[in-house]
Amino acid sequence: MRAKTQIKFGFVDVTAKSDSQLSISDKQSFVDLEDLKQDDIEEIKYATLERNQFALDGSFELMPDVLDDMCLWSSSMSNSSGLFERPPVLTINFTEPHSSLGLTFLFSKAGDYCNHLNITYYNSSNELINEADFYPDNYQYVCNNIVENYQKIVIIFYGTNNPYRYLKLYQILYGANKIFENEDLMGADLLEELDLLSSEVSINTLGFKVYSEEDEFNIINPTGFYSLLQQRQAFEVIETLPKLNKEIYMGKFYLDTWKNADNKIMEFEAIDLIGLIDKTTFYGGMYNNITVEDLCEEIFTSAGLESDEYEIQEDLKNIQLTGYIPICTHREALQQVVFAIGAIADDSRSTKIRIYTIVDEEDNNTIEQTNIFQNTRKVEQNEIVTEVAATAHNYVQGGESEEVFKGILSVGRNRVLFDEPVYNLSCTGGTIIESNCNYAIINCTTEREVIVTGYKYVDNTQEISVEVEDLSSTSKLNTLKIESAYFINKSNAQTIAQKVLDYYQKTYKTEFEFIVEEESLTQDVAIESNSFSRQLVGHIKKLDINLTGGFTANAEINARVRLLTVLRQVDLNENYASMLVRNVYIKEEVSNG
């Protein structure tokens, strides 16, 4: 059986839940409607006095005296026909307009759900803009109904699928998930890669083509899903491997482009979180002994990421950095940080950006020869570097006051940018309301000429180099220069330069196509070899995966040589000894015969 790919397309308004204010006409005293705004509440199946509800199969628990995370339970119970005499009415108000592909309800996993409900939507003027009845047939149910710019929702719950039941509701999603799989998917490719030195922070990408009979995915359909696309529209990818009897979470991606090949065939391109933060601007600053944790929080918060969308290896958090970040993308700012601390930023097969260090393993997972396609394997030596020269930066205040900006600014707030880092700013023609070394935001009451003066920082640079020891006189010299890493200073330049030099010593780049099992980016793997004395081992730096074509990948690995002489010699000695014993036994049989 072949691998199976699922791509979940979440048409869910990512802001509506947090913006919601909920009230209901009928609820138990232990209910806190704020629980409906949470994503991670797990239902506990409690035994109640509802008729035929307490199954004696060990799956139900007795109710404790204090109840938490109950979301919504009605105080009234449905009658013998499963109808409420006074149907509970849930009202949801929002401070901002929202749009979504209907609503998704998660009722009780015990199999109890509302089997008839009515949903009405209102705009900011409290005018009715949409009304529809729905008849759920499962505890999880999607009420498909594209509605735009609503600011209030009223939901009436008329009855339950089983008689004598309380209404139990554990989650509301403002939208729905569409799953592409099997015959829907015409092809899907996932590129995972990174630079092991963090000379750059790579972007993982997902591309796939789907076939759909539904007109909702026609890009020119004004009432289709295209109208609901939001910034950071998310995809989640899951690969099921029958051979391992296992699901592999392949990551979370965000829509970048969407185009229709025709009315039925759509092509999607998506990027990871690192790709998202590459689209936004970080205005940098001058930093003195700031911790990695604080600096990363500043970068990620500025990029719009939540605290659960990134994590930092514990022993890296309190490293202090001194230096400068110019105006750049948030991705480029992150690269400055991770390069300076010898770490990587990776969000492959995850919902978050993880900052951590890579270590060589002694016990490596082995990629078997039988999984590598014939005639695809190539090995070449990496560039030989004999010296690394790192520029250490030291920004100090100095120089004379000078004009750093002059121009006509319009009424209101204006952001002006500086070519070099500056300090001690003053302004004529407007008021500076915010600034750092790279920019100033100036408020003007009339359109007029504005002049900004200030002092420029002086960067006292110093080149610090390390080179290969015992270099042969016949060796070809090759110096690698590091000049634009602005957190390199005298205190860490030699350490960083040595790390880079070590990376290039006696390493190889090996590429091949293979059948993926549980291999992942940065994993330290061994490649099965026919050689008795040596083996290539190294960290995976690139996987270009064909998700729908058998879960195969073109891999690139930064490899080192592991000598197997001692191990192989033991094996050979054992084999030779066993051969001698076997020969003696045969000779004895012949002589006895």
* First-residue to last-residue Cα distance in the chain: 53
pLDDT at 463: 96
CA angle 348, 349, 354 (to 5 degrees): 55
pLDDT bin (cut points 50, 70, 90) of residue 588 is: very low
**DSSP codes of every residue in 4-50:** EEEEEEEEE-TTHHHHEEEEESS--TT--GGGGG-S------B--SS
Binning pLDDT at 50, 70 and 90, where does residue 584 land?
Answer: very low
**For residue 188, what pLDDT band results from cuts at 50, 70 and 90?**
very high
> Are 352 and 423 in a shared domain?
no
Average pLDDT over residues 479-491: 96
Within-domain flag for 293: yes
Q: What is the dihedral of CA 322, 325, 326, 329, to 10 degrees?
A: 180
* pLDDT over threshold 60, residue 590: no
* pLDDT band with cut points at 50, 70 and 90 for residue 473: low
**Same domain for 150 and 20?**
yes
Q: Quote the pLDDT of residue 391.
A: 98
pLDDT 10s digits, 200-251: 999 999 999 988 776 666 666 655 566 555 556 788 999 998 877 889 999 9
Pair 431, 522 in one domain: no
Handedness of CA 295, 296, 299, 301 (dihedral sign): negative
Q: Mean pLDDT, to the nearest integer, of 245-265? A: 87
Residues 410 and 559 in one domain: no
**Domain assignment of residue 568, yes or no:** yes
| Mean pLDDT calculated for residue range 91-115 | 90
105 domain residue, yes or no: yes
Note the pLDDT of residue 387.
94
Decide if 109 is inside a domain: yes
Distance between CA atoms of residues 425 and 542, nearest Å: 46
Q: Is residue 221 part of a domain?
A: no
Which residues are 208's β-sheet partners?
A: 188, 268
Mean pLDDT, range 345-357, rounded to an integer: 97
- pLDDT of 216: 63
Q: What is the pLDDT of residue 364?
A: 82
- Domain membership flag for residue 227: no
Rounded distance between C-alpha atoms, residue 16 and residue 230, angstroms: 12
The pLDDT, as a whole number, for residue 512 is 96
The number of CA neighbours under 13 Å toward the Cβ of 498 is 5
Give yes or no for residue 570 having a pLDDT over 80: no
Choice between 589 and 451, residue whose per-residue pLDDT is larger: 451
Q: Are 562 and 526 in contact (CB under 8 A)?
A: yes
pLDDT value, residue 571: 47
Whether residues 40 and 175 share a domain: the answer is: yes
* Cβ atoms of 460 and 396 closer than 8 Å: yes
Residues 343 and 400 in one domain: no
- Predicted confidence at residue 581, as pLDDT, reads 40
Evaluate if residue 521 carries a pLDDT over 90: yes
- Asked if the model's pLDDT at residue 591 lies above 50, the reply is no
Residues 18, 104, single domain; the answer is yes
Which residues lie below 8 Å from residue 528, measured CB to CB, with a gap of 6+? Answer: 366, 367, 368, 369, 372, 535
CB-based contacts of 561, cutoff 8 Å, min separation 6? 506, 508, 534, 535, 536, 537
CATH number of the domain bearing residue 136: 2.60.120.260
What is the count of structural domains for the chain?
Answer: 4
Looking at 308, 337, 356, which one is the last position of a domain? 356
Q: How open is the CA angle 170-174-177, to the nearest 5 degrees?
A: 90
Same domain, 431 and 518: no
pTM of the predicted structure, to 2 decimals: 0.80
Quick check: 179 and 15 in contact, CB under 8 A? no
Question: Rounded to whole angstroms, how far apart are CA atoms 129 and 554?
Answer: 52
Give me the pLDDT at residue 179, please. 83
Distance CA 585, CA 582 (A): 5
Quickly state the pLDDT bin for 505 (edges 50, 70, 90). Answer: confident
Task: Select from 179, 196, 214 the last residue of a domain.
Answer: 179
Residue 404 lies in a domain: yes
Give tens-digit pLDDT for 34-69. 888 877 677 777 767 677 776 666 667 777 767 777
Give the mean model confidence (pLDDT) for residues 449-477. 89
Matching residue, tokens 């900004």: 452
What is the span of the domain harbouring residue 350?
Answer: 277-356
Distance CA 137, CA 134 (A): 10
Q: What confidence category does residue 176 fall into, taking pLDDT thresholds of 50, 70 and 90?
A: confident
Q: What's the pLDDT score for residue 528?
A: 80
Residues 399 and 350 reside in one and the same domain: no
Average pLDDT over residues 512-520: 94
Residues 6+ apart with CB under 8 A from 515: 371, 550, 551, 552
For residue 403, is pLDDT > 70? yes
Q: What percent of the chain has pLDDT over 90?
A: 61
What's the average model confidence in pLDDT over 150-174? 93
Cα 324 from Cα 333, distance rounded (Å):
10
Read off the pLDDT of residues 75-91 as tens digits, 9 standing for 90 and up. 899 999 999 999 999 99
Range 359-388 average pLDDT: 90
pLDDT band at 145 (very low <50, low <70, confident <90, very high): confident
Q: What is the mean pLDDT of the chain?
A: 87
Q: Are residues 399 and 352 in the same domain?
A: no
> Does 407 score more than 70 pLDDT?
yes
Q: Please say if the pLDDT value at position 580 is more than 60.
A: no
Considering the domain architecture, whether residues 308 and 442 belong to the same structural domain is answered as no
DSSP state of 182: G
What is the side-by-side strand order in the sheet with 387-392?
A: 462-467, 387-392, 479-482
Asked if 470 and 396 touch (Cβ cutoff 8 Å), the reply is no
Does the structure show a pLDDT above 70 at 532?
no
Q: 158, 179, 200: which is the final residue of a domain?
A: 179
In a domain, 202, yes or no: no
Average pLDDT over residues 170-190: 87
When comparing pLDDT for 128 and 106, which is higher?
A: 128
Q: pLDDT per residue over 293-349, tens digit each? A: 999 999 999 999 989 999 999 999 999 999 999 999 999 999 999 999 999 999 999
Same domain for 23 and 167? yes
